[in-house]
A and B are shown apart, each in its own frame.
Chain A
Amino acid sequence: MSVDLATLLAILAMAAATALTRLGGLVLIRHVSLEGSRRKAIESIPPAVLMAVVAPTALATGLAETIACAVTAFAALRLPMLVSVALGVVSVASLRAFGI
């Protein structure tokens, strides 16, 4: 149960960088007014970030992932989150098992 000094420093650097990004936005909106188009831009952040994270998996990883993403998206129109996610996981596992 030992902690190496260089490892500890690396972890602290990561923690500091992460905290900086998490508090940064909060500091930003204290100094920038949020009217009109800026308000609009802020509201578009959630879908823009989520899409940027998943797009390479959905579109540029493999056929199994692309199909499973489509299954998940389609399921999400009607079914609760946990069911949709489970369907996606089962789809990707079976497609990979078939070598797709």
Chain B
Amino acid sequence: MGVTFLQDASSPPAYDLCSHRSFDVNENARLQDFLGGMRAIAPLIAAVVPIGLVFGAVAATKGLTPAEAGLMSTLVFAGGSQFVAMDIWTHPASWAGVGFAALLVNIRHVLMSASLGTRMGGFGPRERYLAMLFLADEIWAMAEFRAKVARLTPAWFAGLVAPFYLAWVVSGIAGAALGAFLGDPVVLGLDFAFPAVFIVLVMGFWKGPETGAVLFASGAAAVATQHFVPGVWYIAAGAVAGLVAAVVSGSRRGVEVAS
């Protein structure tokens, strides 16, 4: 579907090229993978544009110019930490304050990149590091999902990243430029788009009672930490609790088998 759309009338048909040279077949496979990644990320782009607009609008109220908001989205590309930075923004900006906050909010990326790193057999060493720089939550989740059913390729990953990155940066700049003209996203329920996406993904990772133990530990620890500890420690606390639950239930099973 996407291929016919992209071909203009003047270009020769694809099968003509493929039948003569083998590398054209590879090119075609890569294009198919890239388009597959784009298709997979499409629903999340519909969800990220409103969030990007809101980020830009909030940044504008904190005194950031559209150029500064765009620069932050381009270089940081991590929505959660960008919103937290806006929460604690000062004039002049404190690089140590927002830098440490970003480290704390994004510490989960260490786990995410360790996990996805084991699925990157199809990547060269440099491609791996380059790809990881774009490891936003949504990109990571879709890539993990893909790796369960097929070999994750650089082209497929690039298909995820390119449109999502572009949408995040452009919507951030637009939000900063439009500012107060935008409606309240809370009334429209758009702030709920991402939690909803994550819930759908959590449901997809269900593998049985073991997953239940992980989810319960992670959820309980996250809620308790968020209640008692200010800031964003709850994400790291929940992730570690889920990890511990997996190890404990795994080793208990091992003992049962042994005895």
Contacts and interface: CB of A to CB of B under 8 A. Distances in A.
A binds B: yes
Interface of A: 1-4, 6-26, 28-29, 34, 37, 40-60, 65, 68-69, 72-73, 76-77, 81-82, 84-85, 88-93, 96-97
B9 interface: no
Contacts of A96: 186-187, 189
Given A29-B114, A52-B108, A52-B242, A2 B205 contact: no
A5 to B, nearest CB: 8
A34 B119 CA distance: 12
B109 A11 contact: no
B223 A41 contact: no
B111 A10 contact: no
Interface residues of B, number: 98
B interface secondary structure, majority:
helix
A6 B97 CA distance: 12
B68 A7 contact: yes
Given A16-B99, A49-B218, 5 more contacts: A34-B118, A37-B254, A48-B214, A52-B242, A60-B226
Contacts of A49: 108, 111-112, 218, 235, 238-239, 242
Given A4-B92, A52-B239, A59 B223 contact: yes
Given A65-B195, A96-B187, A82 B94 contact: no
A12 B43 CA distance: 30
A53 B198 contact: yes
Contacts of B200: 72-73, 76, 81, 84-85
Contacts of A11: 68, 71-72, 75-76
Nearest to B47: A85
A48 B71 contact: no
B254 to A, nearest CB: 8
Interface in B187-246: 187-190, 192-193, 195-206, 210-211, 214-215, 217-223, 226-227, 234-239, 241-243, 245-246
12 contacts: A13-B99, A14-B81, A21-B110, A24-B109, A25-B110, A26-B129, A50-B141, A54-B202, A55-B238, A76-B200, A85-B47, A89-B196
B135 A8 contact: no
Contacts of B198: 50, 53-54
A22 B223 contact: no
A54 B251 CA distance: 27
Interface string B98-132: 11111100111111111111100000000011001
Contact of A23 (B80, B132, B227, B236): B132
A87 B199 CA distance: 12
A3 to B, nearest CB: 5
Given A3-B65, A45-B111, A29 B118 contact: yes
B250 interface: yes
A47 B223 contact: no
Interface in B153-193: 186-190, 192-193
Contact of A51 (B111, B193, B242): B242
Contacts of A17: 81, 99-100, 102-103, 106
A12 B65 contact: no
B238 A52 contact: yes
A16 B76 CA distance: 8
